[in-house]
Amino acid sequence: ATIYVCLECGLESYYDAREERFVCPVDGPDSPIVPVNVSYAFKLLLDELKSMTIYPRLNVKEVV
């Protein structure tokens, strides 16, 4: 599964259908967003944590 993560804060971004791009919920639409390949089980774990108001931050680096 591919999730899209903000490089500045590490939170998972969401897709804004009006602007047709991914947006960080904290830093807004102008923050750098990168795709990250994770297992489906890890994506489900992140979703379960977010449902309990625990927002894990992922430390990612952009691959050059």
pLDDT band at 64 (very low <50, low <70, confident <90, very high): low
What is the reported pLDDT for 63? 72
Asked if residues 57 and 39 have their Cβ atoms less than 8 Å apart, the reply is no
11 lies in some domain: yes
Q: Give me 21's structure tokens.
A: 């791009």
Interval 20-55: pLDDT, tens: 999 999 999 999 999 999 999 999 999 999 999 999
CA distance 48 to 26: 20
State how many domains the chain has. 1
Task: Report the C-alpha dihedral over residues 14, 63, 48, 40, rounded to 10 degrees.
Answer: 100
Residue 15 lies in a domain: yes
**Residue 4: closest CA among 54, 43, 45:** 43
Answer yes or no: is 41 within a domain.
yes
Residue 35 belongs to a domain with what CATH number?
Answer: 3.90.1800.10
Which of the four pLDDT bands, split at 50, 70 and 90, describes residue 2?
very high
